[in-house]
Amino acid sequence: LIPLSQGFGSYVGEVYRRHHDATWGWITQGTEVFPGLQQAKGGLFWPWAKALDRLKTNSEPNISDYYHYLVIR
Q: What pLDDT is stored for residue 69 in this prediction?
A: 81
pTM: 0.79
Q: For residue range 7-29, what is the model confidence (pLDDT) as tens digits?
A: 999 999 999 999 998 999 998 88
- Residue 17 vs residues 1, 24, 56: alpha-carbon distances, Å: 24, 8, 25
Report CA-CA distances (Å) from 22 to 25, 44, 69: 10, 9, 15
pLDDT one-digit tens code per residue, 38-71: 988 888 888 998 888 888 988 877 878 888 888 8
Q: What does the pLDDT read at residue 14?
A: 94
